[in-house]
Structure 1
Amino acid sequence: MSLGPVMVDVKGTALEPDEREMLRHPAVGGVILFSRNYHDVDQLRDLVAEIHAVREPQLLVAVDHEGGRVQRFRSGFTRLPKARRLGEIHARDPSRARRLSQTAGWVMARELRAVGIDFSFAPVLDLERGISGVIGDRAFHSDPEIVAELAGAYILGMREAGMAATAKHFPGHGAVIEDSHEAIPVDERRFADIFAEDVLPFERLIRQGLAAVMPAHVIYSRVVPEPAGFSPFWLQEVLRKRLGFQGVVFSDDLDMEGASVAGNYPERAKAALAAGCDMAIICNNPPAASRIIETLGEDANPVLHARLARMHGLHPVNLSELHRDPHWRRASEALHALEDDPSLELGI
């Protein structure tokens, strides 16, 4: 059985019988976890192992674990800095910022790999323009060159820890006020401006072998009428052809308001996949997930399977080994120290 084109979520800290049955459906290819799926580190490791044991090849297990305010698991994990903190350090000491960004990527990925999770949807490549609240301090910087530099270091750390990176939200979510979870954002800038600024970090990291991309549920109205995640122009013409991207394209959550323009839930999934997404994500709506996977049915795609299989995590490690690793201890302490670093206060 191949990995299917849909990623779903589960309700609690262990699989229920109906969920196990759902995960065996050929249209399913992965599971995304949330804070509700976490009680402690041992339980999380067991849940991931339970998901991986459902079928062969193993389903992908993912999570949003960027750092800052988007870190699903807290107790038992290193508190990761918000991306903006690394951008602030860059203003005073670029080489230190790069080292810390690589460290953050490595610690994040190594800790998740120690409980079996394949990958995190990170890093964010959006530009901090002082406009988008939902992006805000999740962005490294306002300068696309610095974003590419710091995100590249973060991805290098992830890769060293055995995890593939997913850059988001292509081609850029930072220039709209609206939160695509709750509204349908419209960016009225010209294509030339978006490509020269927001797309630049994606372009740089694609050249470095970026594994995956997640497009934005944003309409770029002077370019095409549909959101980027449902747009053949953005995903095929720009991302695949112009930028030469060969990795995986994950849709953003199809339950978000920004996806509502594409129709009902099965229509959203079909539109995202037809536009160029390899995997459609549906969260926090079990009835919608059921409708989507039943509508899509079985459609084995060896090219899709080969792309998705590259997202499986590498370099497995157990927690006791990790906690005995002096490199992990030093790295975790370095990130903890950022909480009270006086050099980051304004005016210093």
Structure 2
Amino acid sequence: MSHGPLMLDIAGFELTQLEREMLLHPVAGGVILFSRNFQSPQQIKTLVSEIHGLREPPLLIAVDQEGGRVQRFREGFSRLPPAAWFGELNKQNSKKAKSIAQKIGWLMAAELRSVGVDFSFAPVLDLGFGKSSVIGDRAFDRKPLVVAELAHAWMMGVHEAGMAAVGKHFPGHGWVSGDSHCELPIDHRRLGDIMMEDLLPFQRMIDYGMEAIMPAHVIYDHIDPKLAGFSKYWLQDVLRKQLNFQGVIFSDDLTMAAAEEAGGYAQRAHAALNAGCDMVLVCNNSAGASEVLEALGDYNNPAAQMRLIRMHGRKAQHREVLHMDPRWRESVELIALYEESPSLNLDL
């Protein structure tokens, strides 16, 4: 059974019989976990193992474990700093900031791999314009080259731990003030402005070998009337052809308010896949996920299935072994610096 084009979620700490049946559907391809699914490292490892054991190849399992405000697993996991913390470090000591970003990227990925999670939806490559509350300190910096270099260092650590990286939110969510979870943000800038700034981190990270990208639920109305995630222009003309991206394109969550402009759940899924997404996310709405499972029963994209294979995690260490690794101890000590001085009054 190959990877289907739908990533969905589950309700609690354990799978229900209905959820098992949904995950065995050929259209299912992955599971995204949330805080409600997490009770302890051992519990999440058991849950992940059960999900992976349902079928072959195993379903992909992902989580949002960026750090700062967006970290789904906390108790028993290191408290990760937000991306902006690395940007502030960079202003004081660029070389040290990149070294720390690489170590923390490794820590994030190694801890997730120790419980079997395949990848995190990170890093955020949006620019910190100071306009978007939903992005805020999730952005590394305002400057495109700084974002690219810090994200690259972070990704190097992630790769060392056996995990793929997912850059978001293409072509850039940092300029708009609206939260696409709750409304439809519209970016009124011209293409040249976006190309010169927002796209630069994505281009650099593609060149550095980033495996996956998630588009923004944003309309760039001077460029294309459709949301970026439903736009052939953004996903095929720009991302695939102009930027030469050969990796996986994940849709953002199709239950977000901004996605409603594409219609019902079946229409949203078809629109995203037809635009160029390889896998679509439907979260926090089991009825919507069921609708997509039914609607995509005859969908088949061998190229997407081949790309998705790259997202499986590799070389996981048991938690006990991981905690004896000198890199883990060093990274945890760096985390302690953040705990003590989140405002960055550090002696660098």
Partner of 1:75: 75
Residue 324 of structure 1, CA deviation: 1.5
Query: Contact 1:78/1:336 (CA < 8 Å) preserved in 2?
Result: no
Residue 343 of structure 1, CA deviation: 7.7
Aligned runs of 1:35-184 on 2, under 5 Å? Answer: 35-184=35-184
CA distance in 1, matches of 2:80, 2:190: 35
Q: Secondary structure at the match of 2:159?
A: helix
Q: Secondary structure at the match of 1:310?
A: helix
Q: Secondary structure at the match of 1:281?
A: strand
CA distance in 2, matches of 1:168, 1:28: 22
Partner of 1:309: 309
Residue 342 of structure 1, CA deviation: 8.1
Q: Which amino acid aligns with 1:133?
A: S
Moved over 6 A (4+): none
Query: Contact 1:158/1:165 (CA < 8 Å) preserved in 2?
Result: yes
When normalised by structure 1's length, the TM-score is: 0.98
Partner of 1:214: 214
CA distance in 2, matches of 1:327, 1:163: 16
Q: Which amino acid aligns with 2:177?
A: I
Partner of 1:227: 227
Q: Secondary structure at the match of 1:74?
A: coil
Q: Which amino acid aligns with 2:87?
A: G
CA distance in 2, matches of 1:227, 1:6: 19
Partner of 2:26: 26
Q: Which amino acid aligns with 2:61?
A: V
Is 2:14 the partner of 1:2?
Answer: no
Q: Secondary structure at the match of 1:344?
A: coil
For structure 1, the 5+ residue unaligned runs are none
Please give the per-residue CA displacement for 1:91-136, whole angstroms capped at 9, x wherever unaligned. Answer: 0100111011111110000000000000000000000011000000
Identity %: 57
Q: Which amino acid aligns with 1:183?
A: E
Q: Secondary structure at the match of 2:323?
A: helix
Query: Contact 1:145/1:201 (CA < 8 Å) preserved in 2?
Result: yes
Partner of 2:341: 341
| Change over 3 Å in CA distance of 1:342–1:231 after alignment to 2 | closer
Query: Contact 2:85/2:342 (CA < 8 Å) preserved in 1?
Result: no
Q: Which amino acid aligns with 1:69?
A: R
CA distance in 1, matches of 2:49, 2:106: 22
Q: Supply the RMSD in Å over aligned alpha carbons.
A: 1.2
When normalised by structure 2's length, the TM-score is: 0.98
Please give the per-residue CA displacement for 1:266-311, whole angstroms capped at 9, x wherever unaligned. Answer: 0000000000000000000000000011110143432111100100
Residue 140 of structure 1, CA deviation: 0.2
Query: Contact 1:104/1:157 (CA < 8 Å) preserved in 2?
Result: yes
CA distance in 2, matches of 1:58, 1:343: 42
Q: Which amino acid aligns with 1:185?
A: P
Partner of 1:299: 299
Residue 144 of structure 1, CA deviation: 0.3
| Change over 3 Å in CA distance of 1:213–1:40 after alignment to 2 | same
Query: Contact 1:100/1:335 (CA < 8 Å) preserved in 2?
Result: no
Please give the per-residue CA displacement for 1:42-79, whole angstroms capped at 9, x wherever unaligned. Answer: 00000000000111110000000000000001110001
Residue 243 of structure 1, CA deviation: 0.2
Q: Secondary structure at the match of 1:106?
A: helix
Q: Which amino acid aligns with 1:27?
A: V
Aligned residues: 347
Query: Contact 2:101/2:153 (CA < 8 Å) preserved in 1?
Result: yes
Q: Secondary structure at the match of 1:324?
A: coil
Q: Which amino acid aligns with 2:60?
A: L
Query: Contact 1:128/1:141 (CA < 8 Å) preserved in 2?
Result: yes
CA distance in 1, matches of 2:171, 2:40: 36
CA distance in 1, matches of 2:314, 2:298: 28
Residue 314 of structure 1, CA deviation: 0.6
Partner of 2:321: 321
Residue 157 of structure 1, CA deviation: 0.5
Query: Contact 2:99/2:153 (CA < 8 Å) preserved in 1?
Result: yes
